Amino acid sequence: MKLLMVWGLLASLLAPAASNSANSFNGARALAYTRDFVTATGPRYNGSPGLEKAQTLLRNFFAHDQLQEDSFTSSTPAGPQRMHNFIVRFPGKRDGVIVLATHYETNYWLKNIRFVGANDGGATTGLLMQIANDLRAHPPEGYSVWLVFFDGEESVGPQWTDADSLYGSRHLAAKWQADGTLAHIKAFLLTDMIGDRDLDVQHDTNSSPALVEVVRQAAAAEGDSSFFFKQSEAVLDDHMPFVQRGVPCVDIIDLDYGPNDSYHHTAQDTLDKLSARSLAISGSVIEETIRLLNRNPEPGGPR
């Protein structure tokens, strides 16, 4: 009996831990970064002091990493505007790149209502900052991981159009196509509005089906399937310029923000609407997705 008990104890110690956990990622710290970012910057529309503060904050946070600024001027309904993308590279040991992206600015046309974009741009900025901490502590063993912070995702005028939106991602996708970078991207994971207390990540039908399936598997492995892909719709977001160029992409986005989406693009998009648990769930699933991609390369197939 004692021998059986000893073997039972050894088996329990050697067995892999059950994977379930919104707690494997530090959502509280991601929320703290979000709070600091949003509080320090406030509205971050183009030409505002808040956007300059946001850019300074990102430069300072990533000062000791491989940070590259991608600056450009776009023609907008409000005239020429100078914009800045930020790219942070964490080199891996395998040829290829996984991109994690967000946008960090707020809408120019909402500049008069103190729209601070706590969830819409702020939460995923904080999320990627905490992912950066994890990458610093555990550098990639597989594919390189690049964090991208897009400027100019939002439309400048009140009507979203193909020409008046996605300025930063359209610029970077074209630039990376021209210099050959796109050919090295194995997966492009866009994050948007996933700090929402009532987390409900939609299945974006514009995303690559194979990569959506990897995220689905990651959510199941983390015990978080109930928060993912119950509803389907086509989403126009910063992944689209990359989708159009054949890059395997997935948009991890919760567009149902507040009762009947009543907080989206309003002054109600504030810090009290966010949840450390939602950020923990999102971060855990994203990091598990990276692990799965490294085990099963080429999720999107040949390009």
CA distance 115 to 42: 8
Average pLDDT, the chain: 92
For the cut 50, the answer to whether the pLDDT of residue 289 exceeds it is yes
In a domain, 3, yes or no: no
Residue 197: helix, strand or coil by DSSP? coil
Residue 228: closest CA among 239, 209, 212, 249: 212
Residue 302 in domain? no
Under 8 Å between Cβ of 297 and 186 = yes
Per-residue pLDDT tens over the stretch 40-77: 999 999 999 999 999 999 999 999 999 999 999 999 99
The encoded tokens of residue 9 equal 């104890």
pLDDT digits (tens, 9 = 90+) for 108-146: 999 999 999 999 999 999 999 999 999 999 999 999 999
Residue 302 has pLDDT above 80, yes or no: no
Instruction: Look at the chain and report how many structural domains it folds into.
Output: 1
Domain CATH for 231:
3.40.630.10
- What contacts 175, CB < 8 A, 6 or more positions away? 70, 181
Per-residue pLDDT, 73: 98
Task: Judge whether residue 178 has pLDDT over 60.
Answer: yes
Segment 237-252, tens digit of pLDDT:
999 999 999 999 999 9
Model confidence pLDDT, tens digit, residues 161-176: 999 999 999 999 999 9
- pLDDT for 200-259, tens place per residue? 999 999 999 999 999 999 999 999 999 999 999 999 999 999 999 999 999 999 999 999
Encoded tokens for 56: 């300074």
In a domain, 150, yes or no: yes
Instruction: Please tell me whether the overall predicted TM-score, pTM, comes out greater than 0.85 for this model.
Output: yes
Decide if 183 is inside a domain: yes
**Structural domain contains residue 4:** no
Q: Are 83 and 151 in contact (CB under 8 A)?
A: yes
Mean pLDDT (whole number) for 12-35: 68
Residue 198: domain span: 20-295
Locate the DSSP E strands across the chain. 66-76, 79-90, 94-103, 143-150, 185-192, 201-204, 228-233, 249-253
Residue type, 299: P
Q: Is residue 249 part of a domain?
A: yes
In a domain, 40, yes or no: yes
Give phi and psi for 247, each to the nearest 5: -85, 135
Whole-angstrom distance, CA of residue 206 vs CA of residue 9: 49
Amino acid at 190: L
Is there a domain that residue 149 lies in? yes
